[in-house]
């Protein structure tokens, strides 16, 4: 059967979709099933959903009252607790991929989905799997594999949001770099959903701490990214350990031949869903990104606001604590700022939005959930202070600007380790996100002068004081001019200096904002793939001499050689090392140099100038259930 669905909405974000003129999408759902296996018709589903709602006490209201609106998600037959959870986070209309995938997954079918980030695929697989969940079973029923720990955390948070009104549902993210014993304790207490990276999931399975005997569904999220990072052998190993009777869901932005082979070998008669995106007619939002180290983010934010600030700004932060930290810092610098997070009660939220709408507040610092449904036309700039690790959230965020046919600006802050996520966000919006630098003194000073000139012009054209007060001010000016024997120009300059309140008009001093780091990876370091494969093949002979370890062909001038404590006897492969280091350090796989594997250890070439905090994280990183214990050769 083939079904064409007009795809023009994003999950719960019809307003943001219209705001950024998101490309229209066509969904092609193709599957080969016998007639008796066909999904129920929409009429059957609608009637079943209606029958369920009619027997739910929460929908019985007095005749004098207006019944609450029924979510469009109710047509899928989702339980009331899920519908309440979706309503709480502002999900109203299912996206095209959700319309196509949810009915198939509700039937327990395997599914292959080809969709870019930002199309709503997390809810597409999360909602039907939650619907079929048995909260009484303490062992995992759903396992989601993701290529990175950040995505694992994001997916786990999404599951928790959807299941907020379901009792007894436990979701656990497991990934490298986190406390292994703490994860074991949570698993022993009982969880129904596990979201993790392949390496850490394998560690728990080998230790016997992750019991998948009762698993019902496996989701491979961002499968092509797992292939690119060298995790595909790990994924196959996990698949081979699972119960024979299980549901497998595979989502991938692209379909390389290896991913297609996995779907053919491990999925049974899968439904196939493909999202096709067409270019937008026009884009009103200019999107840019800048790279800045974590400790400098607040200062960089203040500089961006100085040079780019407009009439209305929303700054998105990841947590409630960060919103407070950012707001307090901006208040100290004289900004009219307000906070919107999960701790803000509804009445105060409404007052805050009204103040932002009428101009009494110019800067709003918010979390994703708190800002859902926010519709203020005067927002000219959206700043992603913390990167959303999901393209869907990014689309929602930048959709707060460029409204009512106006243009808008969006600026994304990235730390060096987060740069690898940029490509996924660009795919989500189907356009490049151009690079920018932290504004320098010259740019900020010019903006200050322009803003002062604009304020003076506005004050002349639209006086703030009433006629009586203006007359009093004029009288004061005349008296001071007579007493001091000064000209009108001198008086005006004195008034402007008085308005500065002792603060300098122009920034002075040293600028420390370099955008390039010594040893940062460049395209010149890319090498031929065939040479890379030969270099990574290693040598099985034992080496104990440090000079032999370095090899006659030492690292390139812009690279540095490191030793890691895993080798052939640990069954490690080059792909395991590349995937682990790329995931932890933020380096692209092509920026990792020669890898040589020996009996008990290996060596790897990495770019010079690696930040100390990244190096510390790599020391604790585990590959094949062993810590890397990375060290510089010669140290």
pLDDT at position 140 is 95
**Of the ranges 37-41, 155-159, 514-518, 596-600, the best mean pLDDT one:** 155-159
Say whether 261 sits in a helix, a strand or coil: helix
Relative orientation angle of helices 467-484 and 488-500, to the nearest 10 degrees: 110
pLDDT category at 100 given cuts 50, 70, 90 is very high
Q: In angstroms, rounded to a whole number, what is the distance separating the alpha carbons of residues 182 and 626?
A: 17
More confident residue, 494 or 268: 268
What mean pLDDT is reported for the chain? 76
pLDDT at position 59 is 39
Residue in the block written with tokens 């092609």: 28
Q: In angstroms, rounded to a whole number, what is the distance separating the alpha carbons of residues 6 and 20?
A: 18
pLDDT at position 91 is 84
pLDDT at position 586 is 62
| Confidence check: pLDDT of 133 > 70 | yes
Instruction: Give the bridge partners for 72, in sequence order.
Output: none
Q: Which of 252, 273, 291 is nearest to 109 (CA)?
A: 273
pLDDT category at 629 given cuts 50, 70, 90 is confident
Mean per-residue pLDDT, 581-593? 69
pLDDT at position 265 is 92
More confident residue, 361 or 515: 361
Q: Which residues contact 351 (CB under 8 A, 6 or more apart)?
A: none
May I ask the CATH architecture of the domain 2-277? 3-Layer(aba) Sandwich (3.40)
Contact 122, 301 (CB under 8 A): no
- Greatest distance between any 2 Cα atoms in the chain: 100
Contact 382, 401 (CB under 8 A): yes
Chain Cα centroid distance, residue 8: 22
pLDDT at position 185 is 94
**Of the ranges 393-402, 523-532, 561-570, the best mean pLDDT one:** 561-570
| Confidence check: pLDDT of 111 > 80 | yes
Instruction: Give the bridge partners for 559, in sequence order.
Output: 607
Return the sign of the alpha-carbon dihedral for residues 290, 294, 298, 300: negative
pLDDT category at 451 given cuts 50, 70, 90 is confident
Q: Which of 272, 226, 5, 227 is nearest to 114 (CA)?
A: 272
Of 40-44, 211-215, 564-568, the least confident: 40-44
| Confidence check: pLDDT of 577 > 80 | yes
pLDDT category at 388 given cuts 50, 70, 90 is confident
pLDDT at position 479 is 84
DSSP state string for 564-598: ES--GGGT--HHHHHHHHHHHH---GGG---EEE-
pLDDT in tens, 203-252: 999 999 999 999 999 999 988 888 877 888 999 999 999 998 999 999 98
pLDDT at position 547 is 40
Mean per-residue pLDDT, 594-614? 81
Helices (H), 382-466: 391-398, 422-429, 441-461
| Confidence check: pLDDT of 9 > 50 | no
pLDDT at position 345 is 77
Of 277-286, 507-516, 523-532, the least confident: 523-532
Of the chain, the percentage scoring pLDDT greater than 70 comes to: 74
Q: Rounded to the nearest 5 degrees, what angle is found at the Cα of 449, between the Cα atoms of 445 and 452?
A: 135
**Of the ranges 105-119, 263-277, 315-329, 594-608, the best mean pLDDT one:** 315-329
Q: Is 455 exposed, middle or buried (0-12, 13-18, 19+ CB in 10 A)?
A: exposed
User: What is the number of alpha carbons within 13 Å of residue 109 lying toward its C-beta?
Assistant: 23
Of 151-160, 445-454, 559-568, the least confident: 445-454
**What is the phi-psi region of residue 558: left when phi exceeds 0, alpha when psi lies from -120 to 50, beta otherwise?**
alpha
Mean per-residue pLDDT, 22-37? 40
Number of CB atoms found within 10 A of residue 578's CB:
22
Q: Which residues contact 295 (CB under 8 A, 6 or more apart)?
A: none
What does the domain layout of the chain look like in residue ranges?
Answer: 2-277, 285-439, 443-471, 528-632
Chain Cα centroid distance, residue 155: 10
pLDDT category at 370 given cuts 50, 70, 90 is low
Q: What backbone torsions phi and psi does residue 467 show, to the nearest 5 degrees?
A: -55, -40
pLDDT in tens, 316-328: 998 888 999 999 9
Chain Cα centroid distance, residue 397: 11
Residues 528-632: name the CATH superfamily: RRM (RNA recognition motif) domain (3.30.70.330)
Q: Which of 517, 527, 515, 514 is nearest to 605 (CA)?
A: 527
Q: Which of 386, 381, 363 is nearest to 298 (CA)?
A: 386
pLDDT at position 585 is 62
**CA torsion, ordered 133, 134, 136, 138, to nearest 10 deg:** -60
Q: What backbone torsions phi and psi does residue 92 show, to the nearest 5 degrees?
A: -120, -50
Q: Which fold has domain 285-439?
A: Rossmann fold (3.40.50)
pLDDT at position 634 is 64
pLDDT category at 139 given cuts 50, 70, 90 is very high
2-277 against 285-439: fold identical? yes
pLDDT category at 29 given cuts 50, 70, 90 is very low
Residue 41 DSSP one-character state: P
pLDDT in tens, 336-350: 899 988 777 767 877
pLDDT in tens, 273-297: 987 644 343 367 889 999 998 888 9
Contact 275, 7 (CB under 8 A): yes
| Confidence check: pLDDT of 430 > 90 | no
Residue 511: both structure tokens together: 């600028």
Instruction: Give the bridge partners for 271, in sequence order.
Output: 111
Return the sign of the alpha-carbon dihedral for residues 82, 88, 93, 95: negative
More confident residue, 166 or 6: 166
């Amino acid at each position: 059967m083939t079904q064409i669905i007009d795809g023009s909405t994003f999950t719960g974000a019809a307003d943001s979709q219209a705001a950024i003129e998101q490309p229209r999408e066509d969904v092609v759902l193709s599957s080969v099933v016998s007639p008796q296996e066909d999904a129920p018709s929409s009429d059957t589903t609608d009637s079943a959903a209606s029958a369920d709602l009619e027997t739910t006490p929460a929908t019985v209201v007095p005749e004098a009252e207006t019944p609450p609106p029924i979510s469009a998600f109710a047509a899928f037959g989702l339980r009331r607790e899920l519908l309440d959870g979706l309503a709480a986070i502002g999900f109203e209309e299912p996206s095209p991929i959700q319309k196509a995938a949810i009915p198939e997954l509700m039937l327990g079918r395997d599914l292959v989905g080809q969709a870019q980030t930002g199309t709503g695929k997390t809810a597409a697989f999360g909602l039907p799997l939650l619907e079929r969940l048995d909260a009484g079973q303490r062992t995992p029923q759903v396992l989601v594999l993701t290529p990175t720990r950040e995505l694992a955390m994001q997916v786990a948070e999404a599951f928790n949001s959807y299941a907020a009104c379901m009792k007894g549902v436990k979701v656990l993210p497991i990934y490298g770099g986190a406390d292994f014993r703490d994860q074991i304790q949570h698993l022993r207490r009982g969880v129904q959903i596990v979201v993790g990276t392949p390496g850490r999931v394998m560690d728990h399975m080998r230790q016997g701490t992750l019991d998948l005997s009762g698993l019902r569904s496996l989701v491979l999220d961002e499968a092509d990214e797992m292939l690119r990072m060298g995790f595909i052998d790990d994924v196959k190993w996990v698949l081979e350990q699972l119960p024979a009777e299980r549901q497998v869901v595979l989502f991938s932005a692209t379909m390389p031949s290896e991913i297609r082979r996995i779907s053919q070998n491990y999925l049974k008669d899968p439904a196939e869903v493909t999202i096709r995106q067409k270019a937008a007619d026009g884009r009103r939002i200019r999107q840019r990104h800048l790279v800045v180290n974590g400790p400098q983010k607040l200062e960089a934010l203040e500089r961006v606001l100085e040079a780019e600030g407009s009439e209305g700004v929303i700054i998105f932060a990841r947590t409630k604590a960060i919103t407070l930290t950012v707001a307090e810092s901006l208040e100290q610098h004289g900004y009219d700022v307000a906070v919107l997070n999960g701790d803000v009660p509804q009445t105060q939220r409404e007052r805050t939005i009204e103040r932002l709408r009428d101009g009494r507040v110019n800067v709003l610092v918010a979390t994703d959930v708190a800002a859902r449904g926010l519709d203020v036309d005067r927002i000219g700039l959206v700043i992603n202070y913390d990167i959303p690790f999901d393209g869907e959230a990014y689309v929602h965020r930048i959709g707060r600007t460029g409204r009512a046919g106006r243009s808008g600006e969006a600026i994304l802050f990235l730390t060096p380790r987060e740069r690898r996520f940029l490509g996924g966000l660009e795919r989500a919006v189907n356009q490049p996100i151009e690079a920018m630098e932290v504004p320098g003194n010259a740019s900020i000073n010019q903006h200050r002068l322009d803003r002062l000139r604009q304020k003076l012009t506005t004050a002349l054209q639209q006086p703030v004081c009433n006629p009586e007060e203006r007359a009093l001010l004029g009288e004061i000016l005349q008296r001071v001019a007579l007493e001091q024997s000064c000209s009108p120009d001198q008086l005006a300059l004195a008034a402007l200096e008085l308005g500065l309140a002792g603060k300098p008009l122009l920034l002075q001093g040293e600028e420390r904002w370099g955008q390039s780091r010594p040893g940062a990876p460049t395209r010149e370091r890319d090498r031929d793939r065939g040479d890379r494969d030969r270099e990574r093949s290693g040598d099985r002979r034992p080496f104990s001499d440090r000079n032999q370890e370095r090899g006659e062909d030492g690292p390139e001038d812009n690279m540095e050689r490191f030793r890691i404590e895993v080798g052939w006897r640990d069954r490690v492969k080059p792909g395991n090392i590349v995937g682990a280091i790329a995931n932890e350090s933020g380096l692209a796989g092509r920026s990792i140099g020669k890898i040589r594997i020996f009996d008990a250890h290996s060596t790897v070439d990495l770019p010079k100038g690696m930040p100390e905090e990244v190096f510390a994280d790599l020391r604790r990183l585990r590959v094949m259930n062993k810590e890397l214990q990375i060290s510089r050769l010669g140290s």
